[in-house]
Amino acid sequence: MGLTLFKKIISTHLAEGEMISGSEIGVRIDQTLTQDATGTMAYLEFEAMGIPRVKTELSVSYVDHNTLQTGFENADDHRFLQDIAAKYGLVFSRPGNGICHQVHLERFGVPGKTLLGSDSHTPTGGGIGMVAIGAGGLDVALAMAGKPFHMIMPEIIKVNLIGRLIPMVSAKDIILELLRRLSVKDGVNRVFEYAGDGVKTLSIPERATITNMGAELGATTSIFPSDEVTYEFLKAQGRERDFVELQADDDALYDGVIEINLSSLEPLVAKPHSPDNVVRVKDIEGLKIDQVFIGSCTNSSLRDLMMVAEILKGKTIAPNVSLSIAPGSKQVYEMIAENGTLKKLVASGARMLESACGPCVGMGQVPPSGGISLRTSNRNFEGRSGTKDAQVYLVSAETAAVSAIKGVLTDPRVLNERIEIRLPQKFNINDNMIILPPPEGTQAEVRRGPNIKPLPEFKPLPDEIEGEVLIKVGDNITTDHIMPAGAKVLPYRSNLPKISEFVFERVDPTFAGRAQQKGGGFIVGGANYGQGSSREHAALAPYYLGIRVVIAKSFARIHRQNLINFGILPLIFDDEKDYEDIEQGDILRAVNLISQLDNEIISIENVSKGRTYKLRHDLSDRQIQMVKKGGALKY
């Protein structure tokens, strides 16, 4: 039996275990990426390992998230990251050079290689046939130290693309269609592998939009074959030498097949507050909008911005709309400046932002009170735009641009014209904002501003824990709920004592104070607890507040691993009725916890209710040792 593309790449990188879905494997990592918001912590962890230089083929440190410098904190972090890169042999992508995923695709990604990134949208690299996976900073630090990355061998789902998209329907609509059919939790421990004759009709930026937003399915990653389209893209980037042809064997065996007929797709929109809350634009057309944001690692490529400019050209945005645009990289920015695209955007009334994440993660351009914001980004979680009452709708660049002119959500097919965007044969190659590390052995000083606080002490798991259920939340709680981002909180990513004050702030602002006062306790969650970002602060900050056990119906992949990495035990209800029974304020008691970990089932007593719950841990032996010792660094 032949192999899927994912298995082909994993088989050449397998360091531990067997490729049997559901079992734990260790994978050799060729490349890593970090961004500033997760990077400072990742490098503090790397430093703690005492390794003189990164051991990967390539490790890149990007600055793209915390670029809104309203205080000294972010600038201090950038300087720390630049110094660290020089000291440990990393490539440094300076602020202004662009969003990590876009830049990595353009300048560094290589088909067939493995990439581990401390950002959940690292699978963007799957657009050029990489196995690109998002993880917590500590896992990335371990990969930089030359250790294999451990994960559950996923199931592999083939997504068969048939036919060709009709005008004004684009790649974003393909991934929204998948999110419409599946949900934000259906991709957990699965990989989506694209195939079929529709693949060759999609450019690399379009493929990358799809693999990028595969993260919203909860998937381990998504991957496209590496074909002649990939070759042309790499050649245009002056990197044709990095090309290798890669595809699944014809007789490859998949765990499931999904078919999407591209020619019958229509423009789609994800309604608040979940990327899988998808309907046709037609179904809610006419919705009055206040804001449009075009950008983020999902839709900020040259192709997207040229398309937007062709739609906006000679027109003015509606008086009720504020349109902001952030090009994905300096390369894109330079090229739109040169080819006249920028002029068309500015002339129409667009507010041009720097090449960074920006509004996608609440860094500026917060919508007005009760505002309706149309965005080309990938997440519309409640509160993420920077205000709790904003309603964020996710759409394609085409839908965003047409709606910006009309002032209401509009199906872009009204334009009734065929706009063909031809990508250039040669992209502008100017890597002057990329700093290569000095040769090994060069002395490099690391400057640390006052916001950069040391890591906490990691203590072994206590054998007995008694405490209160400090909070009980529902299904699909995101890491944005647990550890908010945005302009107010993001600057404290390297200051754990301070950022811990914001845990669950948008759900229950009293949480952090209560946790601290009671010296810890339990968190109870529903299904897919911790979905969304890779931010390990969503585990580290609760650890800092004294949490050692989280009980949920199920966990999202990256967050579960982050909990384990910091010595927090993730437990699953064996009987979901117990989730209904348990209440905030109940006192729970776990005794003989250490020896109980040898069993699959762990008993925890609800002292308040006089009942005992059966809980599963599903940890591998390696993970059990890790949690017992107080996390991965101790282990």
Q: Identify the active-site residue in 64, 139, 290, 586.
A: 64
Judged by CB under 6 A, the chain residues 46 through 65 that form the site for ligand MIC are: 65
- Answer with the entry of ligand SF4, ligand MIC, none that 274 interacts with (C-beta below 5 to 8 A by kind): none
Question: Applying CB under 6 A, does 481 fall inside the site for ligand MIC?
Answer: no
Query: Are the C-beta atoms of residues 81 and 444 closer than 8 Å to each other?
Result: no
Candidates 40-48, 275-283, 355-363, 512-520 — which segment interacts with ligand SF4 by CB under 6 A? 355-363
Question: Applying CB under 6 A, does 99 fall inside the site for ligand SF4?
Answer: yes
Cβ 371 to ligand MIC, closest distance in Å?
20
Does the CA dihedral 120-122-123-124 come out positive or negative? Answer: positive
Cβ 275 to ligand SF4, closest distance in Å?
11
Backbone angles phi and psi of 33, in degrees to 5: -135, 150
304 is annotated as an active-site residue: no
Question: Applying CB under 6 A, does 10 fall inside the site for ligand SF4?
Answer: no
Count the site residues for ligand MIC by CB under 6 A. Answer: 13
Query: Are the C-beta atoms of residues 529 and 553 closer than 8 Å to each other?
Result: yes
Judged by CB under 6 A, the chain residues 109 through 138 that form the site for ligand MIC are: 119-121, 134
Query: Are the C-beta atoms of residues 162 and 196 closer than 8 Å to each other?
Result: yes
Question: Applying CB under 6 A, does 361 fall inside the site for ligand MIC?
Answer: yes
Could you please report the per-residue DSSP string of 381-412? -TTTTSSTT-EEEE--HHHHHHHHHHSB---G
The DSSP 8-state label assigned to residue 528 in this structure reads T
Contacts of 627 (CB under 8 A, 6+ apart): 461, 564, 567, 568, 569, 597, 619
Interface residue with ligand MIC among 485, 540, 556, 602 (CB under 6 A) is 485
Question: Applying CB under 6 A, does 311 fall inside the site for ligand SF4?
Answer: no
Q: Tokens 């690109």 label which residue?
A: 132
Cβ 628 to ligand SF4, closest distance in Å?
33
Between 65 and 548, name the residue whose CB sits nearer to ligand MIC: 65
Taking the C-alpha atoms of residue 563 and residue 621, their distance in angstroms, rounded to an integer, is: 16
The DSSP 8-state label assigned to residue 604 in this structure reads E
Question: Applying CB under 6 A, does 557 fall inside the site for ligand MIC?
Answer: no
Interface residue with ligand SF4 among 44, 360, 597, 619 (CB under 6 A) is 360
Judged by CB under 6 A, the chain residues 6 through 25 that form the site for ligand MIC are: none
Nearest to 170 by CA among 254, 271, 294, 4: 294
Question: Applying CB under 6 A, does 533 fall inside the site for ligand MIC?
Answer: yes
Question: Applying CB under 6 A, does 78 fall inside the site for ligand SF4?
Answer: no
379 is annotated as an active-site residue: yes
119 is annotated as an active-site residue: yes
Question: Applying CB under 6 A, does 357 fall inside the site for ligand SF4?
Answer: yes
Taking the C-alpha atoms of residue 117 and residue 132, their distance in angstroms, rounded to an integer, is: 8
Interface residue with ligand SF4 among 66, 97, 378, 606 (CB under 6 A) is 378
14-16: strand order across its sheet: 14-16, 24-27, 149-152
Interface residue with ligand MIC among 534, 561, 565, 606 (CB under 6 A) is 534
Nearest to 573 by CA among 611, 520, 540: 611
Query: Are the C-beta atoms of residues 105 and 210 closer than 8 Å to each other?
Result: no
Residues lying near ligand MIC in the complex (CB under 6 A) are found at 37-38, 65, 119-121, 134, 361, 485, 532-535
Active site residues: 64-65, 119, 379, 533, 535
Residues lying near ligand SF4 in the complex (CB under 6 A) are found at 65, 99, 119, 121, 296-297, 357, 360-361, 377-378
